[in-house]
Amino acid sequence: MAEVASNEQRKAEGETTDAGKSVFNLGAVVGDLTVEEDASSNDISLEGLQQELEECKTDEVVANILSKGVKLREYTKGVENNLRQVELDSIQEYITESDNLVSLHDQIRDCDVILSQMETLLGGFQVEIGSISSDIKILQEKSLDMGLKLKNRKVAESKLAKFVEDIIVPPRMIDVIVDGEVNDEYMRTLEILSKKLKFVEVDSMVKTSNALKDVQPELEKLRQKATSKVFEFMIQKLYALRKPKTNIQILQQSILLKYKYVISFLKEHGKEIYTEVRAAYTDTMNKVLSAHFRAYIQALEKLQLDIAGPTDLIGVDTRSTSLFSRGREPLKNRSAIFALGERINILKEIDEPSLIPHIAEASSKKYPYEVLFRSLHKLLMDTATSEYVFCGDFFGEESVFYEIFSGPFAVMDEHFSTVLPNSFDAIGIMLMIRITHQHQLIMSRRRIPCLDSYLDKVNISLWPRFKMIFDMHIHSLRNANVKSLWEDDVHPHYVMRRYAEFTASLIQLNVDYGDGQLDLNMERLKMAVDDLLIKLAKTFTRPKLQTVFLINNYDMIIAVLKEAGPEGGKIQLHFEEFLKNNTAVYVEELLLEHFGNLIKFVKTRASEDLSSGSEKPITVAEVEPLVKDFASRWKAAIELMHGDVMTSFSNFLCGMEILRAALTQLLLYYTRLSDCMKRIAGGSALNKDLVSISSIMYEIRKYSRTF
């Protein structure tokens, strides 16, 4: 059967190969099919046949059948025969293999039994695995619960450990507090005790704990022991401050500041003891510093050089003062009353160290009071700066400084209340005002405000005293006795020199400050001097001498102001204007004295216009005497003028300037006379008597060369 099927297959494949060479016509093949009618043909429907044929045309077997034109019934019978043969072959083969099949059946049955047992076993495993899964879930829940409990216990343990650590009192701490010396370890132990005391006081939960009942009495005992012990320790250290020749700053920095935590501990846990320590320190330092400043002031007083007394005023007659009242200072220092001189150097030495009294006393040197004032305040600033910084670091309170320095401030106030009323040195007072200002700047740069109010008070006390002394000088000028001051001498008056030096000194001290109040006072002083100078000048009987006196004094004042510096300002301009006006007056007076007729003629007649037809025209007879008189004695007159100027004016340069101005003015007058003579009828006859302008110019240049 198999062979038939294979033959049929090979045949079909060959036919298919042949058919592939020709065009396959499905319609032609189908058209040749003849269907035999049978009884059931009426029940068969050919609907959809065409579609099925289209679908089957790709099938090789169907295509082969259709291409050969085989009838379907025959082909079907052939196929059925083949299938029947194959079936018979299969049955025969099955019978042949029956023993093997039985054996296979037995094996399959045994496998089923084994698989059944496996199924039973796996079912048991599944049940056990299910129970294990539930156990794992239970264990997982227990693990989470235990983890949470562990976490809570750790938190509780950490808090409890901190609580125990904060509240427990170690034996070592007790030993250090009770028996230990106050040193670095003691400071660290105090810090631990402070933390425990704060912990007990601050935490509300601790106050309700039973542990506190056991620990609190011990902590209180330790607190009391610690406060009492550090109190005794600090009192001992403070007592060292009272020892003579103790360097307070070194003791504060090297010893006391090491134990500043003691003060913090007492401030927090022993306020009564802290108050006692604070009071002990303030009282000790108050007395020590007061004693130091009092001793320093007493030493400085031995070095003081008195400059001025109540009678040392600008308008007071020096001849009315007894010589015995001048025994306080040597005569070489008398100029310092009104002249600043080298005293201004104190402002350049503002930050120099304070004077050391015993060294200065050993050299037998005396100092104006402003030098002692600067030295005393330099010591005050340095001491106050050091103490202010220490009080801030040690106590943390600024008020401690002011309590300490209430004593030194009182000593200083007492000293100034004695010195200022007896001071009549206006320049010294002004120097102290400037020194105080510089000290304020120094403290400002240091950023230490502790002396602000004190220095303001000093400044406020100095200004009224300066104003009072300044007013005394003004009153001395206004109320001066002109008769007692007057001297029959045209040279600069000593009162005017005093004024010039005094004004120049104040101008120098006001350069960098521009104090309007001082400017107003100097303006008042200038007016008083002007009035007195005019009064003194009027005591001279001759107007020429009055003018010479004024010129000499104005020139001296201007010279002194210029020597002091270029800052004379309005005051210098004021006196320069007066000098210029009086110089012009003197030149006219000098020329009138020697060439009066010539000047009178030039001023009255030479200016007349000859062409205007005046009633009395100028004639040769009127001019001739003037020309001949001038020609005969002009050189001698100039020499006399030169001698007069040289004897009248103390300042050679000023005198020569005046002489040159007089000669120049004489040349102008004589030039006008010459011009007038040329316009007169017959005036040419006098040409032989005229002095040439070049000759006069030569004389002027001769005196200018001496100048």
pLDDT digits (tens, 9 = 90+) for 253-293: 888 888 888 888 888 888 888 899 899 999 999 999 999 99
pLDDT at 662 over 80: yes
Q: For the purposes of burial, counting CB atoms within 10 Å of the CB of 509, is it exposed (0-12), middle (13-18) or buried (19 or more)? A: buried
Compute the mean pLDDT over every residue in the chain, rounded to the nearest whole number.
Answer: 81
Give Cβ neighbours of residue 471 (< 8 Å, ≥ 6 apart).
Answer: none
pLDDT of residue 555: 92
- Listed in order, strand segments (DSSP E) in 317-414 are none
- Which whole number is the average pLDDT over 353-367? 86
Q: CA angle at residue 456 from 451 to 457, to 5 degrees? A: 100
User: What is the C-alpha to C-alpha distance for residues 408 and 290, in angstroms, rounded to an integer?
Assistant: 5
What is the residue whose two structure tokens read 């104090």? 515
Tens digits of residue pLDDT in 216-240 = 777 788 888 888 888 888 888 888 8
Q: What is the dihedral of CA 554, 558, 559, 560, to 10 degrees?
A: 100
- Which whole number is the average pLDDT over 434-438? 94
User: What is the C-alpha to C-alpha distance for residues 293 and 454, in angstroms, rounded to an integer?
Assistant: 15
pLDDT at 410 over 90: yes
Q: How many percent of the chain have pLDDT more than 90?
A: 27
* Higher-confidence position of 14 and 109: 109
Pick the range with the lowest mean pLDDT from 13-27, 117-131, 513-527, 662-676.
13-27
Q: How far is CA 213 from the centre of its chain?
A: 56
Give Cβ neighbours of residue 426 (< 8 Å, ≥ 6 apart).
Answer: 308, 466, 469, 470, 473, 502, 506
User: What is the C-alpha to C-alpha distance for residues 100 and 539, in angstroms, rounded to an integer?
Assistant: 179
Q: How confident is the model at residue 317 (pLDDT cuts 50, 70, 90)?
A: confident
CB 395 within 8 A of CB 427: no
pLDDT of residue 374: 95
What is the residue whose two structure tokens read 């510096």? 565
What is the residue whose two structure tokens read 């005050």? 380
pLDDT at 707 over 60: no
What is the C-alpha end-to-end distance of the chain, expressed in Å?
172
Q: What is the dihedral of CA 461, 462, 466, 469, to 10 degrees?
A: 60
pLDDT at 27 over 50: no
If you write DSSP's letter for every residue of 276-321 in order, what string do you get?
Answer: HHHHHHHHHHHHHHHHHHHHHHHHHHTTB-----TT--TTS-GGGS
β-partners of residue 304 are 367
Q: How confident is the model at residue 412 (pLDDT cuts 50, 70, 90)?
A: very high
- Which whole number is the average pLDDT over 41-69? 67
pLDDT of residue 24: 39
pLDDT at 416 over 60: yes
pLDDT at 322 over 60: no
User: What is the C-alpha to C-alpha distance for residues 646 and 3, in angstroms, rounded to an integer?
Assistant: 178
pLDDT of residue 284: 92
pLDDT of residue 357: 87
User: What is the C-alpha to C-alpha distance for residues 498 and 368, in angstroms, rounded to an integer?
Assistant: 19
User: What is the C-alpha to C-alpha distance for residues 680 and 619, in angstroms, rounded to an integer?
Assistant: 7
| Radius of gyration from C-alpha coordinates of the chain | 68
* Higher-confidence position of 53 and 84: 84
| DSSP helix/strand/coil, 182 | coil
Tell me, what amino acid is at 284? T
User: What is the C-alpha to C-alpha distance for residues 446 and 429, in angstroms, rounded to an integer?
Assistant: 26
* Higher-confidence position of 613 and 443: 443
Separate counts of helices (H) and strands (E) for the chain: 27, 0
Global pTM value? 0.71
pLDDT of residue 384: 94
What is the residue whose two structure tokens read 């020429």? 544
pLDDT at 204 over 70: no
What is the residue whose two structure tokens read 């070592």? 172
Pick the range with the lowest mean pLDDT from 48-57, 398-407, 696-705.
48-57
CB 644 within 8 A of CB 590: yes
User: What is the C-alpha to C-alpha distance for residues 12 and 4, in angstroms, rounded to an integer?
Assistant: 12
Tens digits of residue pLDDT in 450-464 = 999 999 999 999 999
Tell me, what amino acid is at 136? I
Q: What are the angstrom distances between the C-alpha of 537 and each of 202, 311, 396, 480, 543?
A: 92, 24, 70, 14, 9
φ, ψ of residue 340 to 5 degrees: the values are -75, -50
Q: How confident is the model at residue 18 (pLDDT cuts 50, 70, 90)?
A: very low
Q: What are the angstrom distances between the C-alpha of 604 and each of 617, 675, 678?
A: 12, 15, 17
Which of 323, 316, 443, 422 lies closest to 369 in space, CA to CA?
Answer: 422
